[in-house]
Amino acid sequence: MSFADSKNLETVFFAVWTLVFAGLLIFWQVASPEARRKAQPYAVTFTGLVVLLFAWLQDGDRGFFFTLVPVVIIVGLNIIALKTCRRCGAATRINIILPTVKSCAHCGHELESAQHKPAGGDRTRPVP
């Protein structure tokens, strides 16, 4: 593929990643916590697709399939293990092996209201 051999690919690579990074950074600053929570799986999936696209542009089918399994694992783990708080919008990573996190590490708000069972006191703490 002549496009992959040219310097154009490097330019497109840096331009696209700069736009993706800046776009997500700006969105994360201005979006509401609920919008961040809803957009997080799509943003992670989109970023994974951009990685796969550049792997394919750089090395064809071999690059695509070499990158496919790690990208699917990383995107899946990000969707499963990263929960965004409904109140403050902060992302909290859940440890899948050990007991899961029930409240936001940033503000203390509970992350999954459907599974909340109050046992022995209030788990949320007031916002300072």
The SS3 of residue 60 is helix
Nearest distance from C-beta of residue 35 to Zn ion, angstroms: 15
C-beta closer to Zn ion: residue 4 or 82: 82
Nearest distance from C-beta of residue 85 to Zn ion, angstroms: 3
C-beta closer to Zn ion: residue 31 or 88: 88
Binding site for Zn ion (CB under 5 A): 85, 87-88, 90, 104, 106-107, 109
For the chain, give the longest Cα–Cα distance: 66
C-beta closer to Zn ion: residue 71 or 107: 107
For residue 38, the one-letter residue type is: K
**Gyration radius of the chain's alpha carbons:** 19
C-beta closer to Zn ion: residue 43 or 88: 88
Nearest distance from C-beta of residue 46 to Zn ion, angstroms: 24
Rounded Cα–Cα distance for residues 62 and 55 (Å): 9
The SS3 of residue 7 is coil
Nearest distance from C-beta of residue 113 to Zn ion, angstroms: 13
Dig out the tokens for 13 from the structure.
Answer: 């690579």
